Amino acid sequence: MVRLLRPLVRGRTYTRLLHLWVPVAALSVWWWVEPELPWVPLLVLVAVGLIPAVRVGEVMQARLLLTPDEAEPDFATLPAIAWRDRWRTVLWLEVRTLLGGVAACLTVWLPIVAYTLAARTVGHETEDLPALSGQPQWFCGLLAPLPLLALYAAVVGLGEVLTAAARRLLGPSAAERLTALEVRTEQLLERTRIARELHDSIGHALTVAVVQAGAARAANSPEFTDRALTAIEETGRAALEDLERVLGVLREAERPVSARPTLTDADRLLESARASGAKVDAEVTGPLESLPGPVSREGYRILQEALTNVLRHAGPVPALVRIGVADGTLTLEVRNALPDAGAAPGRGSGLRGIRERAALLGGRARTGPDGAGDWQVRVELPLG
């Protein structure tokens, strides 16, 4: 019994009833002026429902009155652009109006019937139920609660039916759901990319700073210490620029984002590694400035992570960097000597990030010992 009466204490029961009354209250003016043409408002609703922005207004009402206790009800959020969605809005308006008319009739006449039955119990004459006129009818007192129970069931039931119709007719179409899924996927990919960039840029800066500080302390040379501090400052400034750009993306998604570094800025990475004590030889062949933007930007990050791995796991050891553009392929190769036979650099997320970046661009990455005592990172990225 308590479960059956629970809707009586729920606010949404009454907000749904209000939602049913709203269109009837507006259309009753017409029905009062032209009672002979009650179907005209239904035709007008067809033209109104074809307006794209109408769905937005109907969704706002449905959120506030039909599902007030749901944080994110499954309703469309954009105007109805496709004709199929517009006709769904038209059907919604018609269904809402018809159900509202039924609710208005029941909420008016069922209480009257209950009152009439109660009045006949004590012998009061009424004109609403002429079949019960005459002497007091004792059984009318037993029937009087039934219209109120019917009214309660009608209010709750019509509210549920209207809410189900709203979810079906005002919900996003299959195309809109697909678009929303694509947007969500892009957001997740963007978050992954941002996390990867933070790992690459900030991780590189911290690695350089740690290596430089350790080398400066071991060298015990003012000149070397000065160079180390300069390298730490430059690397830190570059990392702060990357951090500010990424935070700008997180704070304001629609704000234009400054250009990410590309392989034409690779000298900055090489100088940073050299300032950390590593002897880096570089061979660049082919026009780097002609690389497609995504390939050049991801190539920069791959090279950054490869050099970071060298400094982090092998220290300031000799390294060879080859960057080549030929036959529609960008080739990046970083080789470095291992400090000892037991070293196994790059077991963390760095090499995994390199492989993921290469795979996203349709390329391939090979990492590991080359059999000659060196550690090799070789990445090939297609340009088209």
Instruction: Tell me what pLDDT residue 1 has.
Output: 62
Q: What's the pTM value of the predicted model, to 2 decimals?
A: 0.50
**DSSP-H helix ranges across the chain:** 2-5, 11-33, 40-49, 54-61, 83-121, 139-143, 145-169, 174-219, 222-251, 266-275, 293-309, 349-360
Q: Is the pLDDT of residue 126 over 90?
A: no
Is the pLDDT at 18 greater than 80, yes or no?
yes
Distance separating alpha carbons of residues 72 and 171, to the nearest angstrom: 12
Rounded CA gap, 114 and 140, in Å?
9
* Residue 220 vs residue 356, higher pLDDT: 356
Tokens 């199929």 sit on residue: 84
Q: How confident is the model at residue 342 (pLDDT cuts 50, 70, 90)?
A: very low
Q: What is the mean pLDDT of the chain?
A: 80
Provide the pLDDT confidence category of residue 283 given band limits of 50, 70 and 90. Answer: very high
Q: Poorest-confidence range of 134-148, 161-175, 242-256, 297-311?
A: 242-256
Confidence of residue 179 (pLDDT cuts 50, 70, 90): low
> Which of residues 223 and 244 earns the better pLDDT score?
223
Residue-level length of the chain: 384
pLDDT above 70: percentage of residues in the chain = 83
When pLDDT is averaged across residues 76-89 and rounded to a whole number, the result is 87
pLDDT tens for each residue of 48-74: 999 999 999 999 999 999 988 887 788
How far is CA 181 from each of CA 169, 191, 361, rounded to the nearest angstrom? 20, 15, 22
Mean pLDDT for the stretch of residues 279-296? 88
- 197 pLDDT more than 70: no
Instruction: Say what the pLDDT of residue 255 is.
Output: 43
Average pLDDT over residues 148-175: 90
**Taking a C-beta distance cutoff of 8 angstroms, is the pair 81, 51 a contact?**
no
Half-sphere exposure of 125 (CA within 13 A, CB side): 2
Which residue has better confidence, 107 or 5?
107
Q: Is 334 helix (H, G, I), strand (E, B) or coil?
A: strand
Predicted confidence (pLDDT) at residue 11 exceeds the cutoff of 60: yes
pLDDT at position 8, please?
81
Q: What is the pLDDT of residue 125?
A: 60
Interval 145-151 mean pLDDT: 89
Closest CA to 383 of 275, 301, 289, 315: 289
- The residue that leads in pLDDT, 1 or 96, is 96
pLDDT band at 252 (very low <50, low <70, confident <90, very high): very low
Question: pLDDT digit string (tens) for 35-44?
Answer: 788 778 888 8
Chain-centroid distance of CA 134 in Å reads 69
pLDDT of residue 92: 92
Q: What was the pLDDT predicted at 343?
A: 47
